Structure 1
Amino acid sequence: MNLLGISYIGLDVPDPAVWAEFATSVVGLMPAPNPPKAAPDEARFFKADERQWRVAVYGAEHPGLRYVGFDVGSPEAFERWLTHLDSTGVEFGHGAAADCEARGVRDLVVLRDPSGVRVELCWGPTVDGGFVSPVGVPRFVSGELGFGHVVILAPDLEASMDFYRRVLGMKLSDYVVIGPGMSVQFLRCTPRHHSVALAALGPAPGLHHVAFEVGDIDQVGFALERATRAGHAITASLGRHKNDRMLSFYLRSPAGFEVEIGCDGRLVDDRTWVVNEFTGGDEWGHHGLTAEALARSVAAQ
């Protein structure tokens, strides 16, 4: 019984209008023409494929990850997940009709991870047709891989790993040890190398970054050009990760947390995959991506 990747992401930002401009003119997301009807008035929704929406932003004093939703695929799978959640002893709640309408799904349940992140499992997302990027991005990689990934700072790594592995059934792809008691653990639920990464860097919870995968290196380059021209801080230069092979760069979003835009993410075959510890930095580039920079990024939010 597997989750089918990230279905949607909700972000808290100080100024939704400013973040909306960033989302459309730099990242290349499309304003959702038919957003969920029960959502708050200040919320902004964005498309990245044929789904009604993939990313939502909400006005909030403290920026971060408001929620992350995962697809389970069908009503039958949803019922199996309910039985499984009962067996784990984890606390969860059933989404009300208004919650489901606000997400554009048929049904959902709500959990909290040990860092306080709201996690939703859902089925029946709304599909409303074509995606047309305002800046010409042909596509974002999603489909059977789910939509992108999130990197969460987890003060209690052991409890967080138990939640995402035992409760949500994710698998460890690999990990990076940064220093004493400091590491990043990469977790998958589809062939995508990771949908969630848990970073143990200290006592503060938070969101380090959200990642968007595009189709090829030219689209990464175009995004880097748009970000540079718009004056956004490039927090990690163009480079290739050693573990998931993503060719990407990082930039600071207007909310303070970072965004990664990349391509060529590694796909995992469960039959042959070996969990590895990776050391020695990335293959090349990504200058600025250090443990200290990770901590500063969250402290600045």
Structure 2
Amino acid sequence: MGRSPARRTSPRRGRRRRGTSRVVLVFLALGAVLITAGAAVAYWRDTRPPVTDDQVADVADALDAAGTPTPSAGPSTASPSAKASPSPSVSPSPSSSPSTIAIPATGPGTFVTARADGTTVGTGSQVRRYKVLVEEGIDVRPGAAAAETADVLADRRGWTRDGTNSFQLVGSGSYDFVVKIATPGTVDKICGAAGLLTRGEVNCSVGTDVVVNLKRWVLGSPEFDGPIHEYRALIVNHEVGHRIGHGHETCPGAGRPAPAMMQQIKGLKGCVANAWPHDEGGDYLGGPSVP
């Protein structure tokens, strides 16, 4: 008998089998990776520490500091001893104020005190204890506002550099002054009671109150082209400057840093926007006194 001819496998069928084998191997490998990843996720979920409210607040504060919509602040138009002149109604352009924090025209006039205590910063013998309060019903956390204010007052370019003043954040007990963040209407009431004209636009320092207008805290000023957290530093330094006895100053010369005690919201007069009373070397960044 003759030998039967050998059956040949077509090239197409061979390629199909090899392709199927590759697909099976890929799925097996992917399955192993998913199982391993799932085990790792389960281990992380079972062993990670619980997230506390404080940690959540810390993350939110870090996002604020990184430049997400956040408070800003502006300088004052008045000191406790002098009547403020009318301040222009100014609002930054939308591109410079991306915040989504609401700015009610007015609020209840009641405040929440930040539950925070800090160490004394500075070497000066005059230790000034202060509290930070936020008007009820606005989208600014008292703890976040207190932390930011404390950072400003602890900065080496701040008022501690004068060698006279030290500061301590307190949440209770005696104090020398309070920083109040309030709606424009409430600012007008507090400042107006002392004869100061703020027109819903600016801040003031009266008695033991450093009063921060929420509008400036959120929107900043079109005259200040630096980062928003620098503008927050300007308002704290300006108003606390009044509280410790400094009056208004003006530009010392074109191209020089504007004094922190200058009403920069009214125009820089040739100076460069600046939030700090001292430079890195400790020199006072002042200018001629004005009424």
TM band (smaller chain): under 0.3
Q: Which has the larger radius of gyration?
A: 2
Highest RCO, 1 vs 2 (Cα 8 Å, sep ≥ 6): 2
Structure with the higher fraction of residues in strand conformation: 1
